Chains A and B, each alone.
Chain A
Amino acid sequence: MYPITPGVSNLAEGVDKTFMILFAISLFFLIGITIVMLWFVYKYHKKRHPVPSKSKGNNTLEVIWIVFPTIIVLILFYYGWIGFKPMRDVPEGAREVKVIGYMWDWDFEYENGKRSKDLYLAKDEPVKLNMVSLDVIHSLYIPAFRVKEDVVPGQTNFMWFIPSQVGQYEVLCAEYCGLRHSFMDAKAYVMEPEEFQSWLADFDPEETEHKGLIIVRNNACTGCHSLDGSKLVGSTFKGLYNADRNVTEDGKQITVKADDEYLLESIYEPNRKLVEGYPANVMQSYRKIITDEDVMHIIDWLKSEEMR
């Protein structure tokens, strides 16, 4: 009868308890009122009850059904609030993880600088997610933990919880954010604390990334342009430099080389030379967002061995 399995975080109990109370009260009123209504329709049908009563109302009843529902909704409010309150009270010493949401992917950054595309968590250890967006509003939603908070550009929102069961759970984006909104998902892996520690330590902070890659990632380019040759909304970065591109310019089909000049133009005026097979107007100009110097870093990175 009950459609969901119990949640697996410390916050789930308050949420699920509120669900149970709401479910019981809703069912009681829905079924009760419906039965009374249908019973009246049957019992006071014209055939069985030809002469209607002259009653116009009853003040005692009005008072009862003003006061009684008011008490019930206040009780429901109370349970909703009690179940919610701990969601805003972060305990001291919670592990802080930075969440970066962008069109259309998540990055998670841990205290030692390690980054991951999925969220790694230690069982029974409180974690606080500090969430920022690089572009539009997203919303981090982990149904199994009963947590959700919008990820809003220009401000840092937070959520916290203690995962209580080892396993693999869905991380979804709940706030509509454009083309690939429904594909903006990740996994949350809950591990035993020791296992988590060794995962976290498996990281070499010396291994520096190319500046161009950092710029590309910070501007959320990788939401549409893959690094591994797969086709997303836009063309892949892999092997892009100096490749032949079949493009449409002013309605004419031409073939150009993806050289420095082409790449600069495609970042600043993406719809001028439109590569065959990709829609117009999805990408906007980055002229005001990425400086000339940073574009040079990106091109430099595209020339690098890892991207050829």
Chain B
Amino acid sequence: MGVLVWQRLHGQKSKVKDYLEVNVVRFIHLLRHAGLRIGSGEVIDALQALTLVGVVERDAVRIALKSTLVKRPGEQAIFEKAFALFFGSPNKREAEEARYRKKLEQREEMLDEANEELTFQGQPLELSEQEKLVYANIPEQDRQKLRSFIEKTAAGKNVDQHFHPILESVVKGSLSYWRKSLRNELDLSKTPQTGDEQLNALLDSVGRVDRHDDGSLLEEDMQNIADKDLPRARALIRKLARQMEVQIARRYRQSNKHKRLDVRKSIRHNMRFGGTMFHLRYRSRRIQKPKLLLLCDVSGSMARYASFALQFIYGINSVVGSIESFVFAEELERVTPYFREGDDFSTTMLTVMNESQEWGRGTHIAPVLQALRREYENILTGQTYILIVSDTKTMAVDDAVQELRQIKRMVKDVVWLNTLPAQDWQTARSVEAFSQVVRMYPCNTLSDLEQVMRQKIIN
């Protein structure tokens, strides 16, 4: 495509023999595989820009390509790294290629090893490439344990091929645990497929750049966000909340566009002009903002989720009617007043945590819901949405379900933001029990939190 563009710019006579033009097109190919969205119009711009700045000064070439091809702040780092590698010294490129070849060989060895060692009665277990790589990376003594477990099972009485799928799922479960434990040390990314070995090597290196610093935090289980990343996570929540606020405010404003002429007011106002309609008056729809009641489980490991959910909800306070917040473990505790004192969020959270009796205790939802229904009846109205942030793990599930049914009748809706990872839902009885009464969505990452608020609550 790029070659054709170049020919169009310079006439058919110009043969693409020089390596520069082809290289620019290959470079764009590399960027596209690294995730940059580059259209054909931008390829034309890039080539035109190069004719303007010339190709003598390396920095000018870099800036010309960057300003025409990179259109998002998060892509800048990828571009810089790709440019440094692609237009860098041949020695550096060769070193990258050698590193990549070695990496591929090691990967192949690991896969072969896993194929050989993970068999059940002579049949290989059907594992994904990533699971095999996880196996190859766990400590030898744990691998040994896994192998001996498979061997013992295979040698058991009346054990035949029917056990194959059961054993496979047990092994997969164990590897999934290891995958989580080793997530910072393992490179499980797929090998690049650009159709060009040299580009594959470069892409493998470029791909290791953290493309969007916030991206990884967004998908990280909130509980696992390291303390050092907390300020960044808080900044990210502020940004998400702000973006959501802008969008919602815009949507509300947009509805004013469909305003209707207020004939009565227009006539009255234009009497002074003898009835000529100089100034028209319109009617616009009244906006009903949702009232939110937030119920956050702060028992044991739930505190981190509660803190993030509270920050997010208070971040969008201008687009919701009112927010009432409660924390609970064994008892209900109203924390709304803390958020009205105008302190910054971290200080407020610290105060809530220090003064709350509930932080870190066991969970008992039934009396909590009962207390909410009895003591705060006045705020459970037809406009109220109740958001429960909890992993559903509680004593006396059936009592809690009964309470929940009663509360649901009093309010507009109850939405459960379940912090238990979705893959564990099937094994938790409480999830099944509560989800029969209320809408339940997985919410253990910041990305989940943002999506569920945008799509399920504010809409």
B is bound to A: no
